[in-house]
Copies of this chain bind each other. A is one copy, B any other.
Amino acid sequence: MTAPDRRSAAAIADAVNAGRISAVAVAEETLARAAAYDAVQPQIWISRASREQLLEQARAVDARIAAGEVLPLAGVPFAVKDNIDVEGFDTTAACPAFAYRPESSATVIERLTAAGALCIGKTNLDQFATGLVGTRSPYGIPRNASNLAYVSGGSSSGSSVAVAAGLVAFALGTDTAGSGRVPAAFNHLIGFKPTKGRWSTHGLVPACRTLDCITVFTDDTADARLVDQVVASFDPADPYSKQLADKPLRPARIGVPRRDQRVWFGDTESEFLYDRALENLARLGELVEVDLAPLLEAAQLLYGGPWVAERTAAVADMLADNPDAIDPTVRTIVEPGAEVSAVELFNGMYRLAEIKRHADLLWSDIDMLAFPTTGTTYRVSELLAAPVALNSNLGLYTNFVNLLDMAALAVPAGIRANATGFGITLIGPADTDRALLDVADAYLSVADLPLPPSLDLEGKMQTVKLAVVGAHLKDMPLHWQLTSRDAKFVGAFETAPTYRLYAMADSVPAKPALVHSEDGASIAVEVYELGVAEFGSFVVEVPAPLAIGTVTLADGSSVKGFVAEPRAMTGAEDITSLGGWRAFIARAA
């Protein structure tokens, strides 16, 4: 048996159908890969199939192959965002208090498993699929697979990382405002958001039920096509399901945002990569600048207008019975929806209908849109400091799509220096799903993009460990300079026995100076971990005579830490014998 490319669903299915590898063997390998990545980001999962659960699925597939069946997804491992029901798993929507055990699988899951795919687990998400970031979950923050300091994007955070990390060949996400596209861009993936109604949403926890779509992340367009072939069909159990239709699309005229309306949030790299993408797209068709204003107005209805109440409707029971179980940021978003009146919603519907008419007419001037997927990306720490505003920035080019009944395909379009992905989204009128995949093929063949960067398995270049010794210790007056930078407490340690500690004269607030000395002692320190940018900004704020240097800990390892210029000792009191700053403060009090 030769192992197929583990990133290609088509290759795995071919190998299993041809008997070159068994589904059981694929499952075993998948279990090993997932276990290995647990050392990096266990938080991309909310639940995982047990070994026995997975092997049982795989054995059933092997038996069907042995019986002569040919299955389009034979033995292909996949992951499922945890707002989609899968029999045998709880559905949590990233809210433990909301969790339930579904009686049956969502229609899309039934179709995938009938086609031979193996569900290996349920992935983390922004709670109730409310977010584009991945930071809004009590199950932890999935991070960008290529740079752990950055957000994975959301709300389908865990699913995107599961594919980017090569754990599964494809993963289901969902998309109401961009949740199936933003994480694709950040993680160098294809993000296929079908036309609403093409894929059944029966068995999906609603976010905005009139807008929700189930989506898929894949490494290439062939797999997106393959999954679509298996999943797309009319489902009478979903009132929003539609009869299948496939409209052609020739990218003769490609709409792009008017240059003066493009917004990059200061990210010149994204701007550069988008310009390069446009050069490549110009080889497929004529670029036509379009007015963003009406599209942005539609988007505004989603989070700034009456559609917020649709999210409120989805979590009404939780809001009434157990509001504290809701993520605080999600709650600030969904709670105000209860105050929106039906009259406001009707007025919003009328305005949306007008904008939709405008958008429909757009299709007589252009054949499709090619927009940036996002204008920039953010560090996790940045998101945590401004969780609503930065999230909104990420939705600028995605929010309007579902409201205006469009199909969308997020496609990689380059790599930032920090290894995160920049992407464009190809957008067409309803039912151009398959046609967009063809356009993506044409684009990718002319774009000649670099391979995705290697995975960030340690995050070591991206965070810095810092030993603090005085006013930055927990509960001390400057501790906030760490918390405001999302610093993570690593532990309380002692230095190597080679330091003396001084209480500086005239320092406000009172601060010590840690001074290396062979005639020294072990001094108590606390070690924190910060993002490099946060660390840099922290260093900027350190006043003389203190400085940030390197501090040796008792175990011989080195971390960055507070040191002092010599003048620090002028008039200072040697307090080395106290063993640490807390003892000095206690004595003074």
Most buried by B among A337, A341, A342, A347: A342
How many copies of this protein are present in the complex?
2
Indicate whether A283 reaches chain B with its CB closer than 8 angstroms.
no
With contact pairs A349-B210, A350-B209 given, residues A342 and B306 touching in the complex (Cβ less than 8 Å): yes
Within 8 A of B (CB), among A340-369: 340-347, 349-350, 353-354, 356-357, 361
Flag the segment in A129-137, A307-315, A424-432 that touches B: A307-315
Report B-chain residues with C-beta under 8 Å of the C-beta of A209: 346, 350
Report B-chain residues with C-beta under 8 Å of the C-beta of A240: 353
Indicate whether A288 reaches chain B with its CB closer than 8 angstroms.
no
Bound: A356/B238 CA distance, A: 11
* Contact residue among B236, B241, B345 (Cβ-Cβ distance under 8 Å from A342): B345
Within 8 A of B (CB), among A232-265: 236, 238-241
Report B-chain residues with C-beta under 8 Å of the C-beta of A310: 342, 346
Indicate whether A296 reaches chain B with its CB closer than 8 angstroms.
no
User: Closest residue of chain B to A343, judged by CB?
Assistant: B313
With contact pairs A343-B316, A345-B345, A349-B210 given, residues A357 and B306 touching in the complex (Cβ less than 8 Å): no
Report B-chain residues with C-beta under 8 Å of the C-beta of A350: 209-210, 239
Report B-chain residues with C-beta under 8 Å of the C-beta of A349: 210
Indicate whether A338 reaches chain B with its CB closer than 8 angstroms.
yes
Bound: A340/B344 CA distance, A: 10
User: Closest residue of chain B to A339, judged by CB?
Assistant: B341
Measured CB to CB, the closest approach of chain B to A495, in angstroms, equals 58
Report B-chain residues with C-beta under 8 Å of the C-beta of A344: 342
Mark each residue of chain A from 294 to 328: 1 if its CB lies under 8 Å from any CB of chain B, else 0: 00000000000010011011001000000000000
Measured CB to CB, the closest approach of chain B to A62, in angstroms, equals 38
With contact pairs A346-B209, A346-B309, A347-B313 given, residues A239 and B353 touching in the complex (Cβ less than 8 Å): yes
Mark each residue of chain A from 218 to 243: 1 if its CB lies under 8 Å from any CB of chain B, else 0: 00000000000000000010111100
User: Closest residue of chain B to A235, judged by CB?
Assistant: B357
Contact (Cβ within 8 A) B239 A309: no
Contact (Cβ within 8 A) A356 B309: no
Bound: A353/B313 CA distance, A: 15
User: Closest residue of chain B to A208, judged by CB?
Assistant: B346
Contact (Cβ within 8 A) B309 A361: no
Report B-chain residues with C-beta under 8 Å of the C-beta of A309: 341-343, 345-346
User: Closest residue of chain B to A355, judged by CB?
Assistant: B239
* Contact residue among B313, B339, B341 (Cβ-Cβ distance under 8 Å from A346): B313
* Contact residue among B239, B312, B357 (Cβ-Cβ distance under 8 Å from A343): B312
User: Closest residue of chain B to A241, judged by CB?
Assistant: B357
Contact (Cβ within 8 A) B345 A337: no
Measured CB to CB, the closest approach of chain B to A479, in angstroms, equals 42
Measured CB to CB, the closest approach of chain B to A29, in angstroms, equals 42
Bound: A354/B344 CA distance, A: 24
Contact (Cβ within 8 A) B239 A361: no
Report B-chain residues with C-beta under 8 Å of the C-beta of A312: 342-343
Measured CB to CB, the closest approach of chain B to A308, in angstroms, equals 8
User: Closest residue of chain B to A243, judged by CB?
Assistant: B360
User: Closest residue of chain B to A237, judged by CB?
Assistant: B357
* Contact residue among B239, B313, B347, B354 (Cβ-Cβ distance under 8 Å from A356): B239
Report B-chain residues with C-beta under 8 Å of the C-beta of A345: 309, 342, 345-346
Mark each residue of chain A from 166 to 193: 1 if its CB lies under 8 Å from any CB of chain B, else 0: 0000000000000000000000000000
Bound: A236/B359 CA distance, A: 11
Report B-chain residues with C-beta under 8 Å of the C-beta of A339: 341
Contact (Cβ within 8 A) A239 B354: yes
20 further A-B pairs in the complex, CB-CB below 8 A; given A239-B357, A342-B344: A210-B346, A236-B361, A238-B357, A239-B353, A239-B354, A239-B356, A241-B357, A306-B342, A309-B345, A310-B342, A312-B343, A313-B342, A337-B342, A338-B341, A338-B343, A339-B341, A340-B341, A340-B342, A340-B343, A345-B345
12 contacts between A and B (CB under 8 A): A210-B350, A238-B357, A239-B357, A309-B343, A313-B346, A313-B347, A337-B343, A338-B343, A340-B341, A340-B343, A342-B342, A345-B345
